[in-house]
A = this chain, B = another copy of it.
Amino acid sequence: MNLVLLFEEDLVAPDRARLSGRRFRHVREVHRAVAGQELKVGLLGGRHGRGRVIAMDGDALDLELAFDGEPPPKLPLTLIAALPRPKVLNRVLASATSLGAARIVLLNAWKVEKSYWKSPRLAEENLRHQCILGLEQAGDTVLPELQVARLFRPFVEDALPALAAGSRKLLAHPGVPVPCPRDLREPVTLALGPEGGWVEAEVASFLKAGFEAVSLGPRILRTETALAALAGRLL
């Protein structure tokens, strides 16, 4: 937690917050906060600043706040990820958020096992929580837009053209000979397949929607590794 992310409901006054629960325990146990100590804070969707610990008991602590900075800019990146296994989903969301993706779409694909769609991790509460962990990691305050697309065709054929308009459209497809481009100074929409990859009909749908199939070479990477490697390379 490189930033204590505050929510409107934490504010007891415009310059005063009361932390309890997970964040309080983290600040006490990991940051080993004591009265007088300053922590990096940010207001969800808002500014950065410092919070000075002015009181602390066994359940909560009070911070005196001074906001004076802006969160880091988002990457102009829309990530379309085939829904990962539940175990991996949390890491992908936190990682994509920490990298600064402005928008994340979780999409169905042929090789996404149906059971993944029944995971309790898909509850809106959890999706949001994972993004919040990514913000706390990166020192950001602005949640990515998050969208869940349970049907492949309507999303790719009907929604995607507008969503991806004006961006460079890339389909990550390990093994194709076209290397992923570098250092794009334009918005990017990046589609990342499931374990086992996109099937040919899916590739065809993306190509029809104006995507180029690119790869990082012959190595097949896990979703979260590929995502970070592609983001580091593109943007």
Interface residues of A (CB under 8 A from B): 2, 72, 95, 98-100, 137-140, 182-183, 216-222, 224-233
Contact = CB atoms under 8 A, between A and B. Distances in A.
Contacts of A219: 72, 98-100, 138-140
Contact of A139 (B98, B220, B225, B226): B220
Contact of A232 (B72, B139, B228): B228
A217 to B, nearest CB: 6
As for how many copies of this chain the complex holds, the number is 2
Contact of A225 (B98, B216, B217, B218): B98
A222 B217 CA distance: 24
Contacts of A233: 182, 232-233
B222 A225 contact: no
A181 to B, nearest CB: 11
A227 B233 CA distance: 12
A2 B221 CA distance: 10
A218 B72 CA distance: 6
A132 to B, nearest CB: 15
A218 B225 CA distance: 20
Nearest to A230: B232
A231 B94 CA distance: 19
B138 A2 contact: no
Contacts of A218: 72, 139
Contacts of A183: 182-183
Contact of A221 (B138, B220, B222): B138
A138 B228 contact: no
16 contacts: A72-B218, A95-B222, A95-B225, A98-B225, A100-B219, A137-B220, A137-B221, A138-B220, A139-B219, A182-B233, A224-B224, A224-B225, A227-B228, A228-B228, A232-B233, A233-B233
